[in-house]
Amino acid sequence: MRLTPITVENITIKNNVFLAPLAGYTNYAFRRLCKDYGAGLCYTEMVSAKGLKYGSENTEELLYTDENEGLTAAQIFGNDPEIMRRACEHEKFAPFPIVDINMGCPVPKIYKNGEGSALLENPQLAEKIVKECVKSGKIITVKFRIGITDDTLITKEFAKRMEGAGAKLITVHGRTKDKVYAGEVNYKEIASAKNTVHIPVIANGGVFSNADAERLINETGADGVMVARAALFDPQIFCELTGAENENRLTMFEKQMEWTKQTCDQRFTTVFMRKMAAFYVKGVRGAATYKERLFKAQTPEEILDIAKEIWG
């Protein structure tokens, strides 16, 4: 696909290929890996504004970053405008000039709390949240879905409201809340957002190859694409999309393991890298046997030994 920089207020993002915020996965090590392979902008896992307010240790851990990572956006979720603004102003957000507000998460617990995709049904509250968060001085962006169901599509109106409230970029996931992550992407709805607002529009949904990304751009007119699940199976999809240099799969895995160990304890590193190895082994002969062995591994070293068998 054609790479172009994206300017958001006073910040220029090097290219228009983004990594989506993925709960349970887009930690420091994974973001840094994807950036190495060309991703223009990566997002933290979504952070609970209330969790930050009440000092949740886990919530603060999600915001770990350092000078080696470079420009990163933080993502928050919640439904109280004041608490959301205070989250943006929290000291843990200091390294993140861009804060994205999640208005698309379809997880039942989040939706039932009136957060994530539930805000699609309450556009007035969504506007208040954005307006309040803008007061923090952060560059505010919004990620949302095209509606709750195909009978309640709201893309055009919602995009206009978000821009009017002060959002400087929007990401549109071209599926409804009830589709979760399955089904066809509605290009027409994403295009309606692009044709309505004057801020950058990033298209999200169904990008598993360069051909997918090009089709998404061509069908919607969007300014860029956001990659989600495909990156879990192969972070080097960003090499395909941006022309960055590929690495041996073992080298990739060793880098991610090392960066995870730098920032997390042994137990987390073991559990997380088992999950990642299970994604990466897809398509390898004997994958089922390798997965069984991986999930029995008790230390990072055991996992790395199996990885060397697979890709060494």
Residues 111 and 257 in one domain: no
Residue ranges making up the domain that contains 264: 249-311
Per the domain annotation, does 134 fall within a domain? yes
Residues 259 and 152 in one domain: no
Looking at residue 181, its pLDDT comes to 85
Residues 254 and 238 in one domain: no
CA-CA-CA-CA dihedral for 87, 90, 94, 97, to nearest 10: 20
**Pairing relation of β-strands 73-77 and 98-103?**
parallel
Looking at residue 120, its pLDDT comes to 97
Selected catalytic residue, list 34, 105, 133, 264: 105
> Sign of the CA dihedral 115, 117, 123, 127?
positive
Contact in structure between 176 and 147 (CB atoms under 8 Å): yes
CA-CA-CA-CA dihedral for 43, 49, 53, 56, to nearest 10: -60
> What is the value of pTM for the model shown?
0.96
SS (H, E, C) the chain: CCCCCEEECCEEECCCEEECCCCCCCCHHHHHHHHHCCCCEEEEEEEEHHHHHCCCHHHHHCCCCCCCCCCCEEEEECCCHHHHHHHHHCHHHCCCCEEEEEECCCCHHHHHCCCHHHHHHCHHHHHHHHHHHHCCCCEEEEEEECECCCCCECHHHHHHHHHHHCCCEEEEECCCHHHCCCCCCCHHHHHHHHCCCCCCEEEECCCCCHHHHHHHHHHHCCCEEEECHHHHHCCCHHHHHHCCCCCCHHHHHHHHHHHHHHHCCHHHHHHHHHHHHHHHCCCCCCHHHHHHHHCCCCCHHHHHHHHHHHHC
Residues 130 and 227 in one domain: yes
User: What distance, in Å, lies between the first and last C-alpha atoms of the chain?
Assistant: 32
In the annotation, is 42 catalytic? no
Residues 157 and 302 in one domain: no
Residues 135 and 80 in one domain: yes
CATH of the domain at 231: 3.20.20.70
Looking at residue 183, its pLDDT comes to 85
Q: pLDDT (tens digit, 9 = 90+) per residue, 146-184?
A: 999 999 999 999 999 999 999 999 999 999 999 888 889
Q: Return left, alpha or beta for 197; rule: phi > 0 is left, psi -120 to 50 is alpha, else beta.
A: beta
How do the pLDDT tens digits run along the chain, 312 residues long? 899 999 999 999 999 999 999 999 999 999 999 999 999 999 999 999 999 888 777 777 889 999 999 999 999 999 999 999 999 999 999 999 999 999 999 999 999 999 999 999 999 999 999 999 999 999 999 999 999 999 999 999 999 999 999 999 999 999 999 988 888 999 999 999 999 999 999 999 999 999 999 999 999 999 999 999 999 999 999 999 999 999 999 999 999 999 999 989 999 999 999 999 999 999 899 999 999 999 999 999 999 999 999 998
Looking at residue 149, its pLDDT comes to 95
Kindly give, in sequence order, each residue whose CB lies less than 8 Å from that of residue 81, ignoring residues fewer than 6 positions away: 125, 128, 129, 131, 132, 133
- The number of distinct structural domains making up the chain is 2
CATH of the domain at 294: 1.10.1200
Kindly give, in sequence order, each residue whose CB lies less than 8 Å from that of residue 109, ignoring residues fewer than 6 positions away: none
Looking at residue 237, its pLDDT comes to 98
Domain boundary residue, one of 224, 242, 260: 242
Domain boundary residue, one of 192, 215, 242: 242
Domain boundary residue, one of 211, 242, 273: 242
| Other C-beta atoms lying within 10 Å of the C-beta of residue 69 | 16
What are the φ and ψ backbone dihedral angles of 41, each rounded to 5 degrees? -150, 135
Per the domain annotation, does 1 fall within a domain? no
